[in-house]
Structure 1
């Protein structure tokens, strides 16, 4: 059976990597569904064979090594930004279109990169944080004139990060006294392999830093954890959502006692406090300022904030509750009110974070991770744009909880790619409705109906 699973997985992933165009929606759905079937059977039958699953995890990623991503165009912009840095340009101050429209080609293969990334991407300023920019630059150093060469460099970084996540995730699961094979719900998940290794999305690197930070914090090393957390933010901004949730963890955490009982060095596990919380936030802030400093200018601040704001006021893709609000806006005014609706998304997100921070127990690492899971879930539920790879954060957090709705979502999210089945790349709202009907059904059942989960969710802080 292991040989069969290995062979079947390699063949299916090879077909996905080298013989699939994203407009071939029937083939896309069939391959994806088969990969999930093999993935589920593999974990069901061989969850106790940790070394075997580790080998599978690496081999299945290597299958993609020489493949050009076929479901996303973002990697063309990654290459552009990296080569811009090597040419002495600040990538935050120029759009690709500003050069191409004037007949200027500042980097090697500029025209090909411009066409590959598409006019929408090329017309906006980059919003990729500095750690990603460093990796882009490294790819430019090693492969300044080959798109495939740059792709391979990116993929090596992402595979290395996934291996790091596998190692750190196992250590954290052991520390939390959870089954170590849970980490493979992330590592071997076809969604993760395809979206991160296959399509070159850097959530995998962000997740590695985030998980390492949580592990270090669980071990009492809050200063190092703060630096690593800052690196996570400097890959993707999403971990900023979690900062308020650390309040109770630092003020009322009794983890140091547990660590001392287990024979840990008491000097490195001294009780956390409000002073250390301020230090934790301070280290994160200073580290990020230092990372952004080489790119700083007044134009950078304006361009970066403007580009990030587009996700709330302009872009729409695979949304759920927002589409309902948009339809109500159409009925009332006859117009798309995204600019108005988008202003409320940060407010609702902040309100949710305040509830999770002050009215839910977050004094242990397990409780903290559950709150993180709900914070990101609610943010995604109300967002205007949910690209498939965003869900990687939900999937890794679910590994350390009893919740499975992120895994279900990682399966049905493939339906969002059906938008590319037509020339206008327009979404079929009935398909989106079906996707979220499944997700919300599982979410409601796990959170509000299933007894063991309700006990975990509603561990409200006693006043």
Structure 2
């Protein structure tokens, strides 16, 4: 390497080393209650990642190596921003011992004399009373991942965590390969994929905090890639598997109506029906190993909690809640939790039925808008929920999701106090910035708002 080349890479090397150091501090020397340190590290990582992508966007191999190395920093440490992994390990060990995670509440199960799994009390304590008091709400393919760790690592929490992280890293590598291919096939710049793969939001929330949206995104992108290649049967099967990781892709199904039926022929309509049927059959088959007469009611009861009981980092819902207090004098979450999803469904139907002829790019754009509406109307928006719309946005000219991932960590302020109380001024700041960019892009046209 000559002096000129060394000078060219001097600053990117320094930025990459700085990123590695900040990720190490994030993984090994951060308590989630230390909000200012958390937001300072995240802000620095986001800025440095932005610059790395900007300066090295033609050096794909180098950026891929950095993306993998940054993830490996988190490999041998327990998550420090989430405790969900205790429930993942619990469910996996249940399956490994022949118990059905959809049939038993952890607090009840641990009282049985016939029950015995390794580190049961530690797992119960770690997952917290809320999770320990309810049935599992994780779909069956997600449970299979938990079971893999349950079979391989029977008595080590860290061992199970390492297995989960390796699976997530492999999913992200798959997302890079497929996302890059899909970008190229529809005539978009390949380097856009790094706004997912090298985004500190994805690295921290997926590999660092063990959220399996990463696997769901991989399967969804694989399904979309196969659909673009006109391999619609395999696309439908993989789409069903993505739903069996997380349920969120279900809301995207109505958008396929216009895509399949833009050319109004009976053959295309039959393909649409077949596509839906294959997805449905795939999801049903994935549930069969866990089948019992109470599985549906238990699973749906746990899912229903998210709409009728929980509230976190919401936007429009918090305004509705405030109005409810003024009018009714109490929290109207149970009513709002039923009405807001209906509004979301109507909005998605509008995107499905009333937009003009839909090509593949318009399909992904509509999917982005659908998930955005869902998040803006949700009672609970955890940071990791942004993974799907972030990925979808890379195949459009809209960049507001990149902005949202830059500011979403503001929501972690809630963990800086013992009562886990949100600062609504900070929540308002987050959504003001996000909505500003959404409105600006919709008004001026996305190509006029330059971020990358």
Provide the C-alpha distance between the structure 2 equivalents of 1:253 and 1:97, rounded to a whole number of angstroms. Answer: 54
**TM-score, with length taken from structure 2:** 0.94
Provide the C-alpha distance between the structure 2 equivalents of 1:232 and 1:272, rounded to a whole number of angstroms. Answer: 26
Deviation sequence 1:208-238 (CA, Å, 0-9, x none): 0000000000000000000110110000000
- In structure 2, the partner of 1:353 is 348
Give secondary structure in 1 for the equivalent of 2:75.
coil
How far the C-alpha of 1:3 sits from its partner, in A, is 1.9
Among 383, 388, 391, the alignment partner of 2:386 is 391
Stretches of structure 2 that go unaligned for 5 or more consecutive residues are 1-10
Residues 252, 363 of structure 1: 8 Å contact kept: yes
Provide the C-alpha distance between the structure 2 equivalents of 1:104 and 1:77, rounded to a whole number of angstroms. Answer: 20
Among 361, 365, 369, the alignment partner of 2:364 is 369
Residues 226, 281 of structure 1: 8 Å contact kept: yes
1:433 partnered with 2:428: yes
Residues 32, 80 of structure 2: 8 Å contact kept: yes
How far the C-alpha of 1:449 sits from its partner, in A, is 3.2
Provide the C-alpha distance between the structure 2 equivalents of 1:341 and 1:449, rounded to a whole number of angstroms. Answer: 33
How far the C-alpha of 1:105 sits from its partner, in A, is 5.4
RMSD: 1.7
Deviation sequence 1:109-153 (CA, Å, 0-9, x none): 011111111111111111100111001000011101000000000
CA separation of 1:220/1:453 partners in 2, compared to 1, >3 Å: closer, same or farther?
farther
1:3 partnered with 2:16: no
Deviation sequence 1:381-405 (CA, Å, 0-9, x none): 0000001100011110111111111
- In structure 2, the partner of 1:259 is none
Counterparts of residues 27-106 of structure 1 (less than 5 Å): 27-100=37-110, 106=116
Deviation sequence 1:173-225 (CA, Å, 0-9, x none): 01110000000011000000000010000000000000000000000000000
How far the C-alpha of 1:374 sits from its partner, in A, is 0.3
Provide the C-alpha distance between the structure 2 equivalents of 1:378 and 1:272, rounded to a whole number of angstroms. Answer: 32
**TM-score, with length taken from structure 1:** 0.92
Among 374, 397, 416, the alignment partner of 1:402 is 397
Counterparts of residues 288-299 of structure 1 (less than 5 Å): 288-299=283-294
Provide the C-alpha distance between the structure 2 equivalents of 1:359 and 1:224, rounded to a whole number of angstroms. Answer: 28
CA separation of 1:423/1:104 partners in 2, compared to 1, >3 Å: closer, same or farther?
farther
- Name segments (4+ residues, structure 1) moved above 2 Å: 99-106, 448-454
How far the C-alpha of 1:294 sits from its partner, in A, is 1.2
Among 374, 377, 380, the alignment partner of 2:375 is 380
CA separation of 1:451/1:38 partners in 2, compared to 1, >3 Å: closer, same or farther?
closer
CA separation of 1:58/1:277 partners in 2, compared to 1, >3 Å: closer, same or farther?
same
CA separation of 1:130/1:362 partners in 2, compared to 1, >3 Å: closer, same or farther?
farther
1:304 partnered with 2:299: yes
1:326 partnered with 2:321: yes
Provide the C-alpha distance between the structure 2 equivalents of 1:49 and 1:453, rounded to a whole number of angstroms. Answer: 26
Deviation sequence 1:90-109 (CA, Å, 0-9, x none): 10011111134568853110
Give secondary structure in 2 for the equivalent of 1:224.
helix
CA separation of 1:272/1:221 partners in 2, compared to 1, >3 Å: closer, same or farther?
farther
Residues 388, 414 of structure 1: 8 Å contact kept: yes
Provide the C-alpha distance between the structure 2 equivalents of 1:451 and 1:203, rounded to a whole number of angstroms. Answer: 26
How far the C-alpha of 1:346 sits from its partner, in A, is 2.1
Among 142, 164, 170, the alignment partner of 1:154 is 164
Give secondary structure in 2 for the equivalent of 1:201.
coil
How far the C-alpha of 1:453 sits from its partner, in A, is 7.5
Among 419, 422, 426, the alignment partner of 1:424 is 419
Deviation sequence 1:397-440 (CA, Å, 0-9, x none): 11111111111111111011000111100111111111111111
Among 307, 315, 333, the alignment partner of 1:338 is 333
- In structure 1, the partner of 2:277 is 282
- In structure 2, the partner of 1:314 is 309
Provide the C-alpha distance between the structure 1 equivalents of 2:435 and 2:446, rounded to a whole number of angstroms. Answer: 17
How far the C-alpha of 1:5 sits from its partner, in A, is 2.2
Provide the C-alpha distance between the structure 2 equivalents of 1:100 and 1:329, rounded to a whole number of angstroms. Answer: 40
Provide the C-alpha distance between the structure 2 equivalents of 1:324 and 1:276, rounded to a whole number of angstroms. Answer: 42
Provide the C-alpha distance between the structure 1 equivalents of 2:58 and 2:430, rounded to a whole number of angstroms. Answer: 32
